[in-house]
Structure 1
């Protein structure tokens, strides 16, 4: 069974608004390494649309957006190439190497996990909350930024029960970012 992994950037005060996060070269390299551990990505509508807007390859090969630094390209290529499953009841169609997922979330994700491969990777806020409620996430990674945002959405708002986690790895970056991986205690 392939594991379902979740990774999110978060400030010390719990903000997970991507605009409050400083993404440097080391962080992009780490994110690309995370993507290499997955065969497919699982997104909700909001995260899918945000990622597509930022990372979909331009129509003209070899042309990158003005804002994209050369060290961002490995991450951009990795996310662009991955198979994506999009959980949405409002979208009528998706592309960008994506498939729309509807119906029973629990059985659909269990089926995806049963397929052979290295793993699945989920991002965002609302979908991981639902997957946590269902007990389907096998690994959580919190990439903690040394910043106080003072605003923004936070993680797992409304979670109906505690989820106890055990630390399985910790990685410190030169910028002061700390990536901590946890597995649920079962």
Structure 2
């Protein structure tokens, strides 16, 4: 059975994006970028909601060709292109991007498909996008949370956590600090 991870950068008040889908409040250091690169390289399948897919696919297909791209950005772009991706959306149309970017489009029940994918063999999966992760969270499918908190309050926007029907107990696996006061906490869901 595959493990499902959910992790993103978030503000101290718990948002992954400020109002207007603003994500410019985070200032990633080289060390933090390297951390995320290593996290992505360990993933066997990325699960994206539509909005995060549109953000990622607007830059990373050619991220290694951008002016000033350093070795870590080149590696991230190549890994992004090579890693299999499942995109969950009821509004996107499948196009030639699915073969070029190693992605499949799912338009049906996301929780049922994530459950099916999780039951299969392979490396860990990472869910990206707060709405898709929220559905997986409510269904009890998340095995690990990687919370990278930036020292900024944005006052609203897209929350990292969704409302749950009950408690989910977690075990702390790791705490780490990065330059600029950024703090990582990694938790595992108690089963």
TM-score with structure 2 setting the length: 0.86
Match of 1:87 in 2: 88
CA contact (8 A) 2:137 2:162 kept: no
Shift in CA distance, 156/174, structure 1 to aligned 2, threshold 3 Å: closer
Match of 1:41 in 2: 46
Match of 2:177 in 1: 172
Does 2:155 align with 1:154?
no
Deviates more, 1:39-48 or 1:106-115: 106-115
SS at 2:180's partner residue? coil
CA contact (8 A) 1:86 1:100 kept: yes
Match of 1:7 in 2: 7
Q: How far apart in 1 are the matches of 2:159 and 2:111? A: 23
1:110-121 to 2 correspondence within 5 Å?
110-121=115-126
SS at 1:21's partner residue? coil
Shift in CA distance, 67/11, structure 1 to aligned 2, threshold 3 Å: farther
Does 2:81 align with 1:76?
no
SS at 2:133's partner residue? helix
TM-score with structure 1 setting the length: 0.88
Match of 1:142 in 2: 147
Q: How far apart in 1 are the matches of 2:181 and 2:5? A: 23
Deviates more, 1:16-25 or 1:147-156: 147-156
CA contact (8 A) 1:57 1:80 kept: no
Query: Aligned residues, how many?
Result: 182
Unaligned 5+ segments in structure 1 are none
Q: How far apart in 2 are the matches of 1:99 and 1:84? A: 6
Unaligned 5+ segments in structure 2 are 18-22
- For the aligned residue pairs, the C-alpha RMSD in angstroms reads 1.9
Q: How far apart in 2 are the matches of 1:22 and 1:85? A: 28
Deviates more, 1:156-165 or 1:138-147: 156-165
